[in-house]
Amino acid sequence: MGDEFYSIIKLVSGEEVLSLVAIDDNDGDPIVVLQNPITMKMIESRFGTHLKVKPWIELAEDDFFLIKPEKIITMTETKNEKLIGIYNNYINEEEEIDEIDSKSPGKVKPSEKMGYLTSVKKARKDLENIFKLEVEDTKET
């Protein structure tokens, strides 16, 4: 297997894929090996330009995919640090999600990052205490 490099690939299907790529010269019949390929799409909105990132094959459990060179129109190595950073961040987030899912399938502990501030019981108690203080203040006046 050859050296790995980040590449943008245009397939004959019209899809554009960003992936960590290696070329395997399998007895004179080369195969392109894609590791965690993703697709990116630019989305324009009134809030600005956004980048939608998703896996190339969404339901696959494998990380590696093999493509024959005749299915590729062109490919180019990219050294664009922003693209590579987006790719690596996305892959790392996916791995973290997979790790959480394997520990407790269907269950995720809420965190402050998700917007979790307190439990319902604690919030109810705090609000009742505030209301009691306000009622006591109005009785005194």
| Domain locations along the chain | 5-109, 110-141
Strands 29-45 and 64-67: antiparallel
Whether the predicted model's global pTM rises above the 0.75 cut = no
pLDDT value of position 12: 95
Average pLDDT (10-15) is 93
Half-sphere exposure of 74 (CA within 13 A, CB side): 3
Give the burial class of 83: count Cβ atoms within 10 A of its Cβ; 0-12 exposed, 13-18 middle, 19 or more buried: middle
- Quick one: fold of 5-109? SH3 type barrels. (2.30.30)
Average pLDDT (86-102) is 73
The answer to whether the CB of 1 falls within 8 A of the CB of 73 is no
Q: What is the pLDDT of residues 46-86, one digit of tens each?
A: 888 888 889 999 888 888 999 999 999 999 999 999 889 98
